[in-house]
Amino acid sequence: MKEREDPSSVTADINPDEYYPDDAPDLNRFQRFRIRVFKMVSVGVVDDFINQMYDTVSILALLINLTATILSTYNGLDSRFGAVFDYLEGVTIAFFAVDYVLRLFTANCLYPYKNEWKSLVKYIFSFTGIVDLLSFMPYYLPAFFPAGAAVFRMFRVARILRLFRINAYYDSLNVIAEVILRKKQQLMSSVFIILVLMLAASLCMYSIENPYQPEVFSNAFSGIWWSASTLLTVGYGDIYPVTTLGKTFGIFIAFLGVGMVAIPTGIISAGFVEQYSRLSNIDDLSDADIRFIKMRLNESDSWVGKRIAELSFPQGMLIAVIQRGDATVIPKASVVLKEGDVLVIGAEAIKDEKPVYLRKITLKANHRWIGQRIKDLDISRQSVIVMVKRGEASMQPKGSLILSEGDTVIMYSKVRDKAFDSSSMEQEV
């Protein structure tokens, strides 16, 4: 299979609905089936009942497995319900194995810009792939290697890492991973400093205490445990200095440890503040160079049933996103528009042009325009009525239209005049 080109703007892990719309016309039956399975096993894709149920079963299987594993550690419960715990563990482990096989089958959908073998290898050796493998493999390995049963059971802790898939439902949980990734250089630097201080403290304490405690500080690295527990905690009391100089040095290291722990804490705290500030600023498009509007397609609209490639837009205008029920569809050229679709249309703001203004005037009781026809209104030649909103209906401003109390009149103007009317609101466009 020929490897597809990997655009630099596309990340490895993709959104199934973004790159695999259900109405893509250039897919054969096998490809459609694999994409359907891929959407089912992808956590967070809840566009239909089957996907929702698979996510629910996955989470329940993991919670049941972890609960049975924890309860089996109690001797009293294990003696009474050990068979039940073993049965629940076997069933859930079998589900994890099937889930892993399905993810191998759909690996090329996860990494669509690699060929079949490369996408398969990339998933197998990815973090999630290793976690998925360790979720079920240690359960079956003792059948082939009985001597390593105790070691294999230790790998059961990898199943807990599957809980990170819940991040797909909660953006607030994703913030933690994003902060760590953004601040990984600073965090690695702080960890490096801590390791250097631990090694230095160990060497210094060995030099001071070895003559007096040769059995405790027996070599240069015997103080590593003491330096780690002192720098990062208050010490455990199993290894401690007995000389006056050693105790003085220990106090200094304890104070220094407080500052060392504060460094990564401060980095992560600052990262959270930056991340939440960035997310809040993303929603503020008031000063952006792109303006967006939303419109819903009705049955009578001429765009219904047409592919996006068949539509014509002025230069600088495009469809940014399509909301189709609870799903979000990226507007590729092959996507066919349907009745009920909500289109988010973006257009570049016109720069270096004289601004125009829109006035919105709500006609309250005793307003002088009530009862008058639009063509009889005394308004400036710089202003034009472009729309009249009456209740939920939007009306064309025909000259014969008689204005009523409660009408909202939208006016287009080339000059700013906030003193025009006390009931008007003006917005620059």
Domain boundary among 110, 137, 168: 168
How many domains does the chain fold into?
4
CA distance 28 to 410: 51
CATH number of the CATH domain containing 93: 1.20.120
CATH number of the CATH domain containing 341: 3.30.70.1450
Over the stretch 407-418, which tens digit does the pLDDT of each residue have? 898 887 766 655
One domain for residues 392 and 374: yes
The whole-number pLDDT of residue 98 equals 93
212, 275 Cβ separation under 8 angstroms: no
The whole-number pLDDT of residue 293 equals 82
Phi, then psi, of 83 in degrees rounded to 5: -65, -35
One domain for residues 337 and 267: no
Structure tokens at 349: 């703001």
Domain boundary among 226, 259, 282: 282
pLDDT averaged over the chain?
A: 77
Q: Which helix (H) or strand (E) holds 412?
A: strand 408-413
One domain for residues 104 and 218: no
411, 385 Cβ separation under 8 angstroms: yes
CA distance 46 to 25: 22
Confidence at 87, pLDDT banded by 50, 70, 90: very high
- pTM of the full predicted structure? 0.50
Tell me if 131 is assigned to some domain: yes
One domain for residues 105 and 144: yes
Quote the domain boundaries for residue 388: 357-428
Give the HSE-up count for residue 407: Cα atoms under 13 Å, Cβ half-sphere.
24
Q: Is the pLDDT of residue 371 over 60?
A: yes
One domain for residues 274 and 302: no
CA distance 242 to 219: 17
Tell me if 179 is assigned to some domain: no
One domain for residues 25 and 164: yes
Domain boundary among 326, 348, 370: 348
One domain for residues 196 and 155: no
One domain for residues 73 and 133: yes
